Structure 1
């Protein structure tokens, strides 16, 4: 019988198979990042939020509750 794969090849294939779910998740996250970066409206919203944060225009949770008042 002719061996197509060496023991090292088999180890590498097994290691790759074990990493595939992680690679799939990373690829999905990368695609989502590209989707966000490519969406002008979303990027404008992110930039506006960053500006609000820099200018102190955001409330922390306790201050937001105070502004909403009792229910």
Structure 2
């Protein structure tokens, strides 16, 4: 299982977490998402390679910004 960690700006509540989770899990190849609301870290779990650009785009479309 591979994982990619993104730091997302602007997540402040469980509703934010739900929006980001739904957006990221819609990306092809994503099996699960783990979010730490206190750090803004979003860990994408997958058994196959996932296009990081598509993950960033999904997060942006949900109204949030990936740091870096």
TM-score bracket for this pair, using the shorter chain length: under 0.3
More strand by share: 2
More helix by share: 1
Question: TM (normalized to structure 1)?
Answer: 0.25
Structure ranking higher on relative contact order (CA contacts 8 Å, 6+ apart): 2
Question: TM (normalized to structure 2)?
Answer: 0.26
